[in-house]
């Protein structure tokens, strides 16, 4: 009986350790399926870990290409735009000749959706506008160009309203020269105030306009 209990205890220890211990030396489809499972469960941290295992053990797997795009979109869906851009950059490094216009469009979309506060994200605003303009030069025949143009239009409108706020602020504190600089930018814009509906919030304006 004593030997039976010892054997049972050893079986349980070994079973638990194999169940909870680190996984390695699995097939690429195993890691991929695990990644998809945790994405569906909303646990992107675990999904990221399984992708790392997939990439580490199967660097040349044909599943990597799809896995990168799926993770990028999953992080975008959870408002994790920095991580989404990370996976898109990894895609460009590995598969630079494939779907470049689509991947660069996704990068612009991720940067655009990353806006939370226009007054704090002025640098991101300018960078995203520059990305959009560069996209139009590099991919003039892209089917995603109308969507890039829509994003650019919304960003230009946001920039217009932001310039108005900055000009008004400088006028209130008596910095007339700085205010004139921003007033000139407003006057030189192709937009006009009566073309823009003032948003209830910046995030509502950028995303839901």
pLDDT digits (tens, 9 = 90+) for 72-113: 999 999 989 989 999 999 999 998 777 899 999 999 999 988
Let me know whether 191 and 181 are in one domain: yes
Residue ending a domain, among 98, 129, 156, is 98
**Confidence at 23, pLDDT banded by 50, 70, 90:** confident
For residues 2 and 54, the model is more confident at 54
Express each pLDDT in 110-168 by its tens digit: 998 887 766 667 888 889 999 999 999 999 999 999 999 999 988 888 888 788 888 88
Instruction: At 28, list the tokens.
Output: 């690429």
> What is the tally of structural domains in the chain?
2
**Closest by Cα among 100, 26, 33, 107 to 63:** 33
Residue ending a domain, among 70, 98, 126, is 98
Which runs of consecutive H residues, i.e. helices, occur in the chain? Answer: 2-20, 28-40, 44-57, 63-77, 81-94, 100-113, 122-138, 145-172, 176-187, 202-208
**pLDDT score of 158:** 83
Question: Whole domain around residue 69: which residue ranges?
Answer: 27-98
Express each pLDDT in 105-123 by its tens digit: 999 999 988 877 666 678 8
**Ramachandran angles phi, psi of 166, nearest 5°:** -65, -45
Instruction: At 105, list the tokens.
Output: 């469009």
**Closest by Cα among 197, 198, 206, 201 to 113:** 206
Q: What is the CATH number of the domain that holds 31?
A: 1.25.40.10
User: What is the chain's mean pLDDT, rounded?
Assistant: 81
**Angle, helix 100-113 to helix 63-77, in steps of 10 degrees:** 20
pTM, entire model: 0.74
């Amino acid at each position: 009986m004593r030997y039976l209990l010892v054997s049972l205890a050893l079986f349980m220890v070994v079973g638990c350790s194999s169940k909870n211990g680190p996984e390695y030396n699995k097939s690429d489809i195993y890691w991929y399926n695990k990644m998809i499972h945790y994405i569906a469960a909303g646990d992107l941290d675990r999904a990221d870990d399984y992708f790392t295992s997939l990439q580490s053990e199967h660097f040349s797997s044909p599943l990597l290409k799809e896995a990168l795009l799926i993770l990028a979109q999953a992080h975008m869906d959870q408002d994790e735009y920095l991580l989404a851009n990370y996976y898109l950059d990894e895609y460009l490094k590995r598969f630079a000749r494939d779907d470049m216009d689509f991947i660069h469009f996704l990068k612009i979309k991720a940067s655009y959706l990353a806006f939370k506060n226009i007054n704090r994200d002025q640098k991101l605003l300018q960078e995203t506008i520059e990305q959009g303009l560069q996209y139009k030069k590099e991919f003039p025949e892209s089917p995603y160009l109308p969507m890039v143009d829509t994003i650019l239009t919304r960003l230009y409108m946001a920039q217009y309203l932001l310039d108005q706020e900055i000009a008004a602020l400088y006028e209130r504190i008596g910095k007339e020269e700085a205010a004139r600089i921003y007033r000139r930018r407003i006057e030189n814009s192709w937009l006009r105030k009566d073309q823009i509906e003032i948003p209830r919030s910046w995030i509502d304006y950028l995303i839901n306009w």
